[in-house]
Structure 1
Amino acid sequence: MALSTTASRRMKRKAPRAFLKRTFRQKKPRFRLETCCDLLIHLNCLLFVQRLAEESRTNACESKSGVIKKDHVLAAAKVILKKSKG
């Protein structure tokens, strides 16, 4: 399968808006969210996962490992969470 068809298929997927709204209503029923707030939260999660994957790959390359292991992901998560706290 060509790269362009794979990328176009990925772009056509939609965010799980109903799942996010339902989860927020269950966990925090008093929150009042704007209409597009769920999309911003989904985008934030995707960006976090992307940064986590990049940092994990860097950790794996530094330890001369061809496979990303649990230790690489945990070390990357500590670094990213520390950076995001400010």
Structure 2
Amino acid sequence: MAPSTTVTRRVKRKAPRAFLKRTLKQKKPHLGLGRCCDLLIHLNCLLFIQRLAEESRTNACESKSRVIKKDHVLAAGKVILKKSRG
């Protein structure tokens, strides 16, 4: 018998462009948005979530916890928002 030759591929998910455009138009209809602004907003959200995860993990390690808890995420969110404010 021949060994199985199936190869698993990671499916690349696209950004939810229609959802973002629809949401932006509902919440802020007076804004004149450019063509690719939804992609920039999506990228910004992904970067924020990545920073939040890293900072939360750091907080959990400092408190000698194996699990990231709600308190770690809230503390990390405050720090990240202060840094992004400027």
TM over 0.5: yes
Percent identical residues:
82
Structure having the higher Rg = 2
Q: State the AA in 1 paired with 2:43.
A: L
- The count of corresponding residues between Structure 1 and Structure 2 is 79
Unaligned runs of 5+ in 2: 1-7
Instruction: Please state if 1:38 is matched with 2:38.
Output: yes
Dislocated runs of 4+, deviation >3 Å: none
Once residues 73 and 20 of structure 2 are traced to their aligned partners in structure 1, the CA distance between those partners, rounded to angstroms, is: 25
Once residues 54 and 81 of structure 1 are traced to their aligned partners in structure 2, the CA distance between those partners, rounded to angstroms, is: 14
1:28 aligns to what? 28
Deviations 1:1-25 (A, max 9, x none): xxxx56x32xx10000001000011
Higher normalized helix content (fraction of residues): 1
Unaligned runs of 5+ in 1: none
